[in-house]
């Protein structure tokens, strides 16, 4: 009896396992014909060639590979296929006025969809309110919304009346509930330590600090020193203990050096680089994110924001572009990332414009492409992105043109593949 019962149990288990296996979905396979293929921005183009993608990852690259049974075939033989781009410095479009965090998040959802549709497969969001960047990152990861990989910073760390302070309500209100470390406002090393811990608790994967004043804030100047060297040192220590990088908004020479000596991992903007700062960055491998498009856009009249932003941007421009030239001529390009500092309001500038502007002011197309692919992935810690190789995530873009010869081709997007799936296109 026991033998018969055991046999029945074994048979039942076998039947159930067979049924479960039969119910497993067939692997999703793509077969892509590429006119030219950029496996890495620092290597020559291949082509014509073919790619095979299985369940979201590249499983073969080669000439005239056989078409797997049941594969979806995509013909990009008239185009150049390149790794998906990474914007290392964005904010999120939330619209005008003072909307609720819920409405901000819904609007920002359109921003991240616009990014992905433009061929941008990864973004570092360097500062939002209400941890909406964390919510969007989670929603993308679980497949609830369409968007690129998101590395969120939560609230940027600043001071009252500093670069993040847009609070316009009267001083007769009790302000203690607003100017808190949770909101990113600090007034001491103790506040700084608490602010880092709270950003991490609520989902930040990178810490952003406002070491100097800036262009986009109403109350301060890019020449102002804001977070103290002692506060920056505490922030870097605590973030690094949690294995997170620290990104420093920096627009004057004093605060750039202070942030470097405190241990930051990237300098954002770097509008007043000096030879001393450049040599320190090279020696300690600090990343450099020059964000030149946002300033050029102001100079050319493409920014229709408040008058204080336009005035400060124009006043900063000469130093900003000179800093880009200094970094390029001093050998800092291998540590250069591409960040647009844009909010991704649909139809506005992106990291594609940043690459074009880098070249306009002295970078080579190769340097700009490396900054927006390989270096962006390294800065964010995304091992699966930045280049195309067997085993890596299948996130890439088909372009009408060769961006290694004409960087403007990065805006001629014909198709976007993200994690092995064709992104619905709004492009003609």
Domains of the chain: 85-384 (3.20.20.140)
Instruction: Please identify every stretch of the chain with a pLDDT value under 50, giving residue numbers as ranges.
Output: 1-3, 5-22, 428
Q: Are the CB atoms for 275 and 325 separated by under 8 Å?
A: no
Q: Are the CB atoms for 41 and 373 separated by under 8 Å?
A: yes
Which residues pair with residue 342 across a beta bridge? Answer: 90
The predicted pLDDT at position 426 comes to 64
Q: Which two tokens stand for residue 261?
A: 């000596």
Closest CA to 50 of 71, 36, 34, 39: 34
The predicted pLDDT at position 8 comes to 42
The predicted pLDDT at position 22 comes to 45
Q: Are β-strands 49-54 and 120-125 bridged in parallel, bridged antiparallel, or unpaired? A: unpaired
The predicted pLDDT at position 23 comes to 52
The predicted pLDDT at position 6 comes to 42
What separation in angstroms does the CA of 276 have from each of 251, 253, 257, 280? 15, 10, 8, 6
The predicted pLDDT at position 26 comes to 81
DSSP state letter for 76: E
**Residues with Cβ < 8 Å from 9, sequence gap 6 or more?**
none
Q: Is 410 helix (H, G, I), strand (E, B) or coil?
A: helix
Cβ-based neighbour number of residue 26 at 10 Å: 8
Q: Are the CB atoms for 325 and 361 separated by under 8 Å?
A: yes
The predicted pLDDT at position 2 comes to 47
Cβ-based neighbour number of residue 343 at 10 Å: 18
DSSP state letter for 28: P
The predicted pLDDT at position 425 comes to 77
Closest CA to 82 of 336, 422, 358, 414: 414
Q: Are the CB atoms for 222 and 232 separated by under 8 Å?
A: no
pTM > 0.85: yes
């Amino acid at each position: 009896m026991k033998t018969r019962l055991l046999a029945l149990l074994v048979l039942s288990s076998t039947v159930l396992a067979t049924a479960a296996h039969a119910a497993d979905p067939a692997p999703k396979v793509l077969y892509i014909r590429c006119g030219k293929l950029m496996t890495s921005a620092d290597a020559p183009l291949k082509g014509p060639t073919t790619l095979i993608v299985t369940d979201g990852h590249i499983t073969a690259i080669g000439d005239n590979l056989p078409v797997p049974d049941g594969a979806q075939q995509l013909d990009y033989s008239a185009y150049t296929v390149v790794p998906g781009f990474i914007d290392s410095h964005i904010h999120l479009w939330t619209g005008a006025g003072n909307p609720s965090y819920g409405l901000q998040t819904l609007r920002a959802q359109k921003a991240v969809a616009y990014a992905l549709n433009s061929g941008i497969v990864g973004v570092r969001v360097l500062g939002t309110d209400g941890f909406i960047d964390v919510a969007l990152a989670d929603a993308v990861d679980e497949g609830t919304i369409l968007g690129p990989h998101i590395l969120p910073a939560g609230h940027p760390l600043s001071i009252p009346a500093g670069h993040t302070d847009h609070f316009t309500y009267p001083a007769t209100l009790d302000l203690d509930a607003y100017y808190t470390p949770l909101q990113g406002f600090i007034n001491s090393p103790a506040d700084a330590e608490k602010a880092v811990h709270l950003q991490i608790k609520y989902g930040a994967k990178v810490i952003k600090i406002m070491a100097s004043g800036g262009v986009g804030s109403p109350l301060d100047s890019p020449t102002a020193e804001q977070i103290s060297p002692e506060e920056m040192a505490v922030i870097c220590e605590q973030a690094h203990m949690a294995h997170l990088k620290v990104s420093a908004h920096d627009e004057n020479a004093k605060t750039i050096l202070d942030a470097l000596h405190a241990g930051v991992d990237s300098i954002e903007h770097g509008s007043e680089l000096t030879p001393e700062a450049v040599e320190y960055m090279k020696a300690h491998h600090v990343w450099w994110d020059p964000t030149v498009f946002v300033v050029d856009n102001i100079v050319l009249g493409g920014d229709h924001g408040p008058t204080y932003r336009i005035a400060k941007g124009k006043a900063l421009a000469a130093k900003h572009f000179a800093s880009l030239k200094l970094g390029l001529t001093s050998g800092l390009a291998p540590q250069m990332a591409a960040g647009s500092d844009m909010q991704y309001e649909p139809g506005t500038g992106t990291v594609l414009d940043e690459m074009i502007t880098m070249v306009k002011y002295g970078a080579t197309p190769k340097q700009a492409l490396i900054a927006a692919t390989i270096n962006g992935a390294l800065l964010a810690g995304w091992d699966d992105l930045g280049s195309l190789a067997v085993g890596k995530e299948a996130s890439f873009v088909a372009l009408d043109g060769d961006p290694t010869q004409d960087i403007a081709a990065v805006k001629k997007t014909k198709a976007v593949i993200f994690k092995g799936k064709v992104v619905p296109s709004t492009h003609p």
